[in-house]
Amino acid sequence: SQQGEEDPQALSIQEGENATMNCSYKTSINNLQWYRQNSGRGLVHLILIRSNEREKHSGRLRVTLDTSKKSSSLLITASRAADTASYFCATGGGETSGSRLTFGEGTQLTVNP
């Protein structure tokens, strides 16, 4: 079963614009991760934010985490056509879950040149 929902399910923007994706989850977490998947291929790890962190940056990526609302957001700034992919949030890890990740339903991002 999915941990939560991602919003929106699909997002279409122009190159240079910012893209924001949201993720909600149901249970308490140790950390939350974001992954990217290009066209039915393997997932690529983007960023991990721990439950005691509120915001994290990596290059053009900014992730926020609100544990009181059980939600996270991923912001991609200055989007490029190469950012076109599906983006998934995942929870799990730590002593209780081991390496088991529970994924959201994903957001399909299309960046138009």
Partner 1 sequence: KAGVTQTPRYLIKTRGQQVTLSCSPISGHRSVSWYQQTPGQGLQFLFEYFSETQRNKGNFPGRFSGRQFSNSRSEMNVSTLELGDSALYLCASSVTTDTQYFGPGTRLTVL
> Would you tell me which residues interact with partner 1 (CB under 8 A)?
1-2, 31, 33, 35, 40-45, 48, 88, 92-95, 97-106
Please give the Cα distance from 96 to 41 (Å, whole number). Answer: 28
Rounded (to 5) percent helix, strand, coil in the chain: 5, 55, 40
In 31-91, where does DSSP find H-type helix? none
Nearer to partner 1 by C-beta: 77 or 108?
A: 108
CB nearer to partner 1: give 13 or 48. 48
Min CB(98)–partner 1 separation in Å: 5
Identify which of residues 13 and 53 has a Cβ nearer to partner 1 in the complex.
Answer: 53
User: What is d(CA 106, CA 89) in angstroms, rounded to the nearest whole number?
Assistant: 7
Q: Minimum CB separation from partner 1 for residue 9, in Å?
A: 11
